[in-house]
Amino acid sequence: MNNYSERDLIIIGGGPAGLAAAISAYDTFKAAGIETPSILVLERDKVLGGILNQCIHNGFGLHTFKEELTGPEYAGRFIDRLKERNIEYLLETMVMDITKDREVTAMNRKQGMFTIKAKAIVLAMGCRERSRGALNIPGYRPAGIYSAGTAQRLVNIEGFMPGREVVILGSGDIGLIMARRMTLEGAKVKVVAELMPYSGGLKRNIVQCLNDFDIPLKLSHTVVDIKGKERVESVTIAQVDDKLKPIPGTEEEYTCDTLLLSCGLIPENELSNGAGIGMNPVTNGPKVNESMETDVPGIFACGNVLHVHDLVDYVSEEAGNAGAHAAMYCLNGDKAAAGDIINVTTANGVRYTVPTVIRPDMMGDALTIRFRVGNVYKNCYVDVFFDDERIIHRKRPVVAPGEMESVVIKKEMLEGKKIKELNIRLDLNEG
């Protein structure tokens, strides 16, 4: 095993989160007078950019750049910024292990297996798709069953059409986008079936990817059978009850040669678990504080490894915060480790928040808390309580699980107060 060297900051992942974190960290080091920051980005793919490289549709960058870009264009702007700063990166490098002492073990063809000691680490490994095996769909295992992301890569990068008659299970954003993409490439998308009584994707994707192409979306439906041994021949879907169990007599059979699965994303946290980082059971990502720091000092997390995002613009914003605080940790250590702590909790329809802990001494002027709800609610209010005092009461015409919500807490709101708990909840009473 080769001891590659030491670095101030190691960033694991060269996708949108890793790129934004590296750039923000570099700029923070420079602002502190460090002319040549020691930053290393480790990426297992052969190119930087992550999942954005296969997302050739537009709609990226409206918040970050105030213009509409494709995924590769959005990634390209961050890659250019990375290279302008001469930030070091290694491609085709797989990270095998990280420790609480911030020692990273990785390997590639050139260096073999090596270890790097870091003052701080940013986790930006992204997420993966939930597989068919995790869904327990009955039937054989014929050709023609793909995750939506795999199909996206085949069509957009490899130039290969997975099939011509398609059924899609799951209405996550990737599935919705692939319904449109397959249609534009000449395939017939017969139906999108969604287990839940609401879609898991953005409203704009339902309109632009399904409604505009007259593709039916059947809520509260799931696949109950797949026919075909060598290749998919047909798929049977059925309606489910309020316990998500198929209702006998509601079966519908669709002849097709392809089934795409868009049934959720799972943050890639094997490395996080190995390092003993505390995890949030709702997000399957690390618990973090206002600085995007996990409960292991000096290890930060951002992007889809932390929680699954709707928009890459939010990933970049969050990763910039993580990168800046990781650089400050390298420079100053954890100054506020023993300071006041406010626990962020949820109630009444709110499933989780990021962050889950706030240290007021480490806050900037304002902190964005992102959260998701557990169902579709109309004409409700988002409430924020400091202990028993309601601070925010904001009306929302509709909130849904597929759309991330946020509240902004200003530091001045916390000054002079001894707050133990910040609670975010929904008020479902109209008026």
Q: For the segment 264-323, what is each residue's pLDDT rounded down to a tens digit?
A: 888 999 999 999 999 999 999 999 999 999 999 999 999 999 999 988 999 999 999 999
What is the average per-residue pLDDT within 13-21? 96
Q: Which residues of 224-244 are buried (b: 16+ CB within 10 A; e: fewer)?
A: bebebeeebbbbbbbbbeeee
Distances from the Cα of 36 to the Cα of 32, 33, 188, 348, angstroms = 11, 9, 54, 49
Sign of the CA dihedral 193, 198, 199, 204? Answer: positive
| Cα 280 from Cα 283, distance rounded (Å) | 6
Q: pTM here?
A: 0.92
| Cα 407 from Cα 413, distance rounded (Å) | 13
Amino acid residing at 101 = D
| Residue that is written with structure tokens 């059947």 in the block | 218
The reply to whether omega before 355 is within 30° of 0 (cis) is yes
Mean pLDDT of the chain: 91
DSSP H or E run through 181? helix 173-184
CB 196 within 8 A of CB 243: no
What is the average per-residue pLDDT within 17-26? 97
CB 123 within 8 A of CB 302: yes
Strand residues in 244-328 grouped as ranges (E): 252-255, 258-261, 265-267, 279-280, 285-286, 299-301
CB 300 within 8 A of CB 288: yes
CB 319 within 8 A of CB 328: no
Distances from the Cα of 165 to the Cα of 63, 178, 209, 399, angstroms = 36, 13, 17, 34
* pLDDT tens digits along 131-158: 755 556 777 778 999 999 999 999 999 9
Distance of CA 182 to the CA centre of its chain: 24
What is the average per-residue pLDDT within 52-60? 92
Q: Is the pLDDT of residue 4 over 80?
A: no
Q: Is the pLDDT of residue 2 over 70?
A: no
φ and ψ at residue 326, rounded to 5 degrees: -65, -40
The pLDDT assigned to 430 comes to 60
